[in-house]
Amino acid sequence: MRELNPNVWINHVNRRVTNILCDGYMCGVEPNVIVTDCRQKNEEMYLRRNGFKIIKVEADDQLRLQRIASAGEYVTPEQFNHDTERQVELIEADYLIDNNGTYEELKQEVFNAYNFFRAEREMGHESK
């Protein structure tokens, strides 16, 4: 799909984010929006233009492959090394999470990231 339209993901996310924000504001709340996938620089630029912060979750390649296998999945070397997977390395993070540990450690890191951005927002810096 990206070959036909490099903004296909952006267009999809933009519709979903707009709906979430409209629904939230109509209910009198300011919703928090989390986008769980960003693989290309144009996608990163869209998110930044719209006030999002980028949290990058990294794990060693061998560990990623072990986790994929443990989940009963399989990826070919071509899939694992596809351009969309490698473009992630070019995305600049506002916050980096190391996911080489346990699930509990990952949950704690996500909680720490949430608190970091919540404190930043409370100090007057805008983020979604």
* Residues 31-62 pLDDT 10s: 788 898 898 999 999 999 999 999 999 999 99
- Residue 23 pLDDT exceeds 90: no
The total number of structural domains that make up the chain: 1
d(CA 84, CA 34): 20
- CATH number at 92 reads 3.40.50.300
Mean pLDDT across the stretch 89-96? 94
Task: List the domain range (segments joined by +) for residue 114.
Answer: 38-122
pLDDT the model gives residue 83? 87
Asked if the structure places residue 90 within a domain, the reply is yes
**22 occurs within a structural domain:** no
Is residue 19 assigned to a domain? no
Whether residue 83 is contained in a domain is answered as yes
Instruction: Say how far apart CA 95 and CA 112 lie, in whole Å.
Output: 10
Instruction: Report if residue 27 sits inside a domain.
Output: no
Q: What is the CA radius of gyration of the chain?
A: 17
This model's pTM is above 0.75:
yes
Residue 8 lies in a domain: no
Q: Is residue 68 part of a domain?
A: yes
